[in-house]
Amino acid sequence: MSVVKIKDVEIEKKEKPGAYTPKEVKGYILPPDTKKILNSVKHKRNVLLVGETGTGKTSLVYQLGAMLNEDVLYNSCQGETSKADIVGQYVVEPDPVTNRMKTVWKDGRLITAMRNGYWFILDEMDFARPDILELLHSLADENPNIVLDSKDGECVYPHPNFRLFATANSIGAMSDQRSLYQGTNIMNPALIDRFHVFHIRDLSKEDTWQMLIERIEGITGPIAEKMVQVVFALRGLKDKEEILSNFSNRRLLSWANEFMLYADPIDSAAHTIFNKLDNVEGDLFRRTIQEYMGGKL
């Protein structure tokens, strides 16, 4: 282990990456609350990142893991994710010696992370089923553990290097935005109190411009400036509730990458933006881009 300084926080870094260490993204811009988030990680607190889709909640954990050579495992709560997917289950597989079928226990990603001291991300926790949320109560408590009921009640305690991260689109104070994310649940206050909660918001204009310059090969300062103007004009419309869709950094990067191929702001936005919106919002996005950057409507 060595000690590095990130955002004025001195924190331990492993000597080399592991099998599940993410790759560091060139030009990644750390959000303003990174210092507080790192302090929470340093002092073994559970971290919940809340914010709209595309604001970079999950990618922030991956990038901090990359900077510190930490292994990071991930599970989404979308779709049919079950408790067994996360903690593990018995499966039938061939014996490597006899080739006969036998029943063996396979740890899920959460238990794997706990045993090995990895970081674990439970993504979109506000979509999680009740039996998954029940697990978090004991894992995020003062004496963290998980009891594997399906495995003779084995009690698993986390490795000292284990860290728990969760993300959510709408929670607590953000419950007024639940209409944008159908299927979400308002989190139990007793569960929320077991986490340090950080709201991840869009980058400033200056940081958004810098992100484009650093991450989009060949883009010029003036083009990046016009794209930033488009983004913040549309975010202004969202603030006024004239549109529902947020112009996220993920959407911006996708559009900018395509612009470098097509050299036309409208053509490059067709499959990266417009086709993902209804006709009314798509037209507003299209006209805003044309106003700032030109191109054929």
Q: Quick check: 186 pLDDT over 80?
A: no
Q: Quick check: 163 pLDDT over 50?
A: yes
CA distance 159 to 195: 18
Closest C-alpha among 6, 66, 71, 12 to residue 34: 6
Strand 9-13 relative to strand 2-6, pairing: antiparallel
Q: How many residues does the structure list for the chain?
A: 297
How do residues 50-105 score in pLDDT, each as one tens digit?
A: 988 888 899 999 999 999 999 999 999 876 788 888 999 999 988 888 888 999 99
- pTM for the whole thing? 0.86
* Class at the top of the CATH hierarchy for domain 2-199: alpha beta
Phi, psi dihedral angles at 118 (to 5 degrees):
-90, 165
Q: Quick check: 172 pLDDT over 80?
A: no
Confidence band, pLDDT 50/70/90 cuts, at residue 219: very high
How do residues 222-259 score in pLDDT, each as one tens digit?
A: 999 999 999 999 999 998 988 888 888 999 999 999 99
